């Protein structure tokens, strides 16, 4: 413990090994304690310094040269008679730890300092100074030389007496400084590179302007080029005025303006629309029918509608009734029906040819064909386009379709219109209301182009699988043509005329290298497919021909290959679909019903059993039945109980619990048309009379036993025909719907029309005598 003169340093920190000159009078003292001070607050640790020299300054002042020795902890203070402040000082020279952590911190500190000096552009002298320091305490004190470390951080470093901890603190401070310098360097480099890039772009643009002037391609020539394109586009007057207005803006702004590219894009889209170009229609209904018959089997409704459309157009053209709307601007749009294009909606199961017939219609009418897939579209801007205020705005799909077609009267197919969605961005189906309304689509306005487009010459064909998901107002604007599927004979004809040749080509086979009989085609249709369309049938034929192609390519067989039943079984495996009505209905309590699904018509079985129980009104329903179908089952049970005597049901047979099940329990089912099937199953169960295995039925039933009409007659009859049923029971009021059923199917089946349940049971149930004898 020593007694030293205290020399306060205002906002200055002196570390050991530092040399400095102070203009203070220390008298005859040889050692002093240099203590940092900030606003009258002293640090607890100072630096013990030797007075190595005394200097007299001009004017009579005094100065001393001090050399820092080591740290000293200040203790009690005393004031001398001459007013000087002395303190008791505990000397605290640095020790030299030899542990591994200190050595690791030394290496890290040196590395950080070297990186710092490199960023600052040191010439190597400071790095040499740092390398020459061997004591860890002195090395840590070099952080005090940094001008970027604050007074408080230097005081903290001075007051850290433990050498290892001080070295760790110095590493932390220098790392923070290094990170700050690196960020500053990156910012400086980014700014410099940005400035250089702008200068380079400016220089290159000036060169480009000079080159374009020499070639005669300056702004004036670009504007003239656009003006010539606008003249040649044949735009309506209002559209031309808008185009010239935008062209004038481009001319005033010049190519250097930031908005110039947006104006050029807008003008490019205006010019891309085929305002004055139209396909030369072939108004020949006979030729159109020949083309449609050649491309598609069946589909009589849509073929007749296209023939009618062309016949009407032909008559109006021959009699001078087709006057263009542009030629008579005083005509009321609502009265001008001459230019209205047809809007057809084809609704039916998948694979029935809805999409492919659009191309055939375009070819038959001599128009261009464009397909717009709307499945999953949820943004209204997909139809109407984005407003030009948005970055990257584009016209809607209709404008793009007209551009792709190159004419204003193409055939545009709106595919999967029933799968259009809606969310916070808007409802695309609402935008389609104007497009598909003949009274409005002559003045359709795209948000991007913001000019009127005449869509009245377009032939729109929409496709959908179900009508229930199409909004009512949109469906009201459509002329619906239903595709109810193909008969077995039609599928065989399609397979022979279309699918088989296409699969031969896809599998690399010539027509003479593989052949199949119509009988085998019918076997594939009935035993390996159960669908309204022909997609699965085409896949099965593709499998057959791949097997044949593999055999020919590997040399196992030689062409030509005649496919037989064994080859079909080997390629397609065991039979997948069976005529099981006879097996299912062999016991009382099972009836065969007819239903319509999203993939066409189908056959379903209704099974009923009676169980002893105390509750007389208990009814168990299984098979994922909807609410309407559950009500039909309760109505059927109530009717059978109320008419037990008429139905020949023994006394007491209607007591107990009943269980009604509709198989294929994984598939949800609903609708009222299974009412007569449920009544028949319960009546069969309680009377002991099985249902005839050749009979299928459909119809809604009431508590009074009346049979009400239902929908989907054609699809249900086709499903019954495919399942091998020969008798179909239908409501009397559905008699007229048989006209939609193909004639060959009507000839092969017997139809029974019923007004009441009694008439249904008379046909459906086996006679009581025959059952008793059996």
* Strand-pair partners of 669: 625
List of long-range contacts for 339-342, beta carbons under 8 Å, 24+ apart: 339/442, 339/456, 339/457, 340/438, 340/456, 341/409, 341/438, 341/455, 341/456, 341/457, 341/458, 341/459, 341/460, 342/305, 342/309, 342/459, 342/460, 342/479
User: Which of 168-182, 219-233, 752-766: highest mean pLDDT?
Assistant: 752-766
Q: Which residues are catalytic?
A: 673, 716
- pLDDT at residue 213 in the model: 67
Higher pLDDT, 378 or 213: 378
- The mean per-residue pLDDT over the stretch 237-243 comes to 90
**pLDDT, tens only, 2-27:** 888 888 888 888 889 888 888 888 88
> Is the model's pLDDT at 343 over the cut of 50?
yes
- Binning pLDDT at 50, 70 and 90, where does residue 354 land? confident
For residue range 441-488, list pLDDT tens digits in order. Answer: 888 888 898 898 888 888 899 999 888 888 888 888 888 888 777 878
**Does residue 142 have a pLDDT over 90?**
no
pLDDT digits (tens, 9 = 90+) for 644-673: 888 888 877 777 788 999 987 778 888 899
| pLDDT tens-digit map of 600-633 | 788 888 999 988 876 666 788 998 888 999 999 9
Spatial contact of 362 and 407, defined as CB atoms under 8 Å apart? no
More confident residue, 591 or 577: 591
* Residue 332 binned pLDDT confidence (cut-offs 50, 70, 90): very low
Residue 643's Cβ-count burial label (10 Å; 0-12, 13-18, 19+) is: middle
Average pLDDT (755-763) is 92
The better pLDDT of the pair 328, 587 is held by 587
Higher per-residue confidence, 484 vs 64: 64
pLDDT of residue 770: 44
Over residues 117-136, mean pLDDT: 80
- 158-162, 431-435, 612-616, 626-630: segment of lowest average pLDDT: 612-616
Would you state the pLDDT for residue 581? 59
DSSP 386-420: --TTSTT----HHHHHHHHH-SSS-EEEEETGGG-
Whose CA is closest to 157, among 148, 112, 147, 168?
Answer: 168
Determine what percent of the chain is predicted with pLDDT higher than 90.
17
Count Cα neighbours of 273 within 13 Å in the Cβ-side half-sphere.
27
Least confident of 189-198, 227-236, 589-598: 189-198
The model carries a pTM of 0.61
Class of residue 277 by CB neighbours under 10 A (exposed 0-12, middle 13-18, buried 19+): middle
Which residues 6+ apart lie within 8 Å of 542 measured at CB?
503, 506, 507
Using the predicted structure, report yes or no on whether residue 566 has a pLDDT greater than 50: yes
């Amino acid at each position: 413990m020593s007694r030293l003169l205290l020399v306060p340093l205002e906002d200055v920190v002196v570390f050991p090994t530092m040399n400095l000159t102070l203009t203070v009078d220390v008298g005859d003292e040889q050692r002093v304690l240099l203590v940092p001070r900030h606003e009258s607050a002293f640090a607890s640790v100072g630096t013990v310094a030797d007075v190595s020299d005394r200097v007299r300054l001009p004017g009579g002042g005094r100065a001393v040269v001090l050399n820092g020795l080591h740290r000293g902890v200040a203790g009690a203070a005393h004031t001398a008679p001459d007013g000087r402040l002395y303190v008791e000082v505990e000397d605290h020279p640095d020790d030299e730890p030899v542990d591994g952590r200190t050595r690791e911190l030394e290496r890290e500190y040196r590395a950080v300092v070297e990186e710092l000096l490199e960023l600052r552009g040191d010439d190597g002298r400071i790095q040499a100074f740092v390398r020459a320091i061997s004591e860890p305490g002195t090395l840590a004190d070099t952080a005090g030389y940094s001008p970027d470390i604050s007074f408080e951080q230097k005081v903290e470093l001075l007051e850290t007496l433990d050498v290892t901890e001080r070295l760790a603190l110095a590493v932390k401070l220098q790392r923070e400084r290094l990170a700050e310098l690196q960020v500053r360097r990156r910012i400086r480099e980014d700014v410099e590179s940005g400035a250089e890039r702008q200068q380079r772009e400016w220089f290159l643009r000036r060169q480009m302007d000079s080159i374009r002037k020499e070639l005669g391609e300056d702004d004036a020539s670009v504007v003239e080029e656009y003006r010539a394109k606008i003249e040649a586009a044949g735009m309506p007057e209002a559209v031309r005025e808008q185009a010239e207005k935008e062209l004038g803006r481009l001319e005033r702004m010049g190519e250097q303006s930031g908005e110039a590219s947006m104006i050029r894009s807008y003008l490019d889209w205006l010019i891309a629309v085929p305002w004055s170009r139209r396909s030369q229609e072939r108004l020949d209904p006979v030729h159109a029918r020949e083309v449609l018959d050649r491309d598609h089997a069946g589909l009589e409704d849509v073929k007749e509608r296209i023939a009618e459309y062309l016949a009407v157009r032909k008559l109006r053209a021959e009699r001078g009734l087709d006057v263009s709307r542009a030629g008579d601007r005083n005509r009321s749009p609502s009265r001008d029906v001459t230019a209205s294009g047809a809007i057809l909606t084809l609704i039916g199961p998948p694979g029935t040819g809805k999409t492919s017939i659009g191309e055939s219609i375009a070819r038959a009418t001599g128009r261009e064909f464009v397909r717009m897939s709307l499945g999953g579209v949820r943004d209204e801007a997909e139809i109407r386009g984005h407003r030009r205020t948005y970055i990257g705005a584009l016209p809607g799909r209709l404008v793009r379709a007209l551009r792709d077609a190159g004419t204003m009267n193409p055939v545009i197919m709106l595919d999967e219109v029933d799968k259009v969605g809606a969310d916070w961005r808007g409802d695309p189906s609402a935008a389609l209301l104007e497009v598909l309304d003949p009274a409005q689509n002559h003045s359709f306005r795209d948000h991007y182009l913001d000019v009127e487009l005449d869509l009245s010459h377009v032939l729109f064909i929409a496709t959908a699988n179900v009508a229930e998901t199409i909004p009512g107002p949109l469906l009201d604007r459509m002329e619906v043509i239903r595709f109810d599927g193909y008969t077995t004979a039609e599928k065989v004809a399609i397979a022979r005329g279309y699918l088989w040749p296409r699969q031969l080509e896809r599998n690399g086979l010539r027509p003479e290298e593989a052949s199949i009989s119509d009988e085998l085609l019918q076997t594939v249709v009935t035993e390996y497919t159960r669908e309204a369309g022909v997609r699965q049938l085409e896949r099965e034929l593709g499998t057959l021909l791949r097997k044949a192609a593999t055999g020919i390519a590997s040399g196992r067989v030689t062409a030509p290959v005649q496919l037989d039943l064994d080859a079909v079984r080997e390629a397609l495996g065991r039979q997948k679909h069976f005529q099981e009505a006879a097996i299912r209905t062999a016991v009382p309590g099972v009836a065969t019903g007819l239903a319509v699904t999203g993939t066409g018509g189908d056959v379903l079985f209704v099974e009923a059993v009676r169980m002893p129980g105390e509750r007389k009104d208990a009814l168990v329903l299984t098979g994922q039945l909807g609410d309407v179908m559950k009500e039909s089952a309760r109505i059927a049970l109530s009717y059978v109980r109320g008419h037990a005597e008429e139905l020949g049901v023994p006394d007491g047979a209607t007591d107990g619990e009943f269980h009604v099940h509709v198989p294929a329990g994984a598939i949800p089912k609903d609708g009222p048309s299974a009412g007569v099937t449920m009544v028949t199953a319960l009546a069969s169960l309680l009377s002991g009379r099985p249902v005839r295995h050749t009979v299928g039925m459909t119809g809604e039933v009431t508590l009074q036993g009346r049979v009400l009409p239902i929908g989907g007659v054609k699809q249900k009859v086709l499903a019954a025909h495919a399942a091998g049923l020969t008798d179909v029971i239908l409501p009397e009021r559905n008699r007229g719907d048989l006209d939609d059923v193909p004639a060959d199917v009507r000839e092969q089946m017997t139809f029974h029309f019923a007004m009441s349940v009694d008439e249904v049971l008379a046909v459906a149930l086996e006679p009581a005598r025959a059952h008793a004898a059996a």
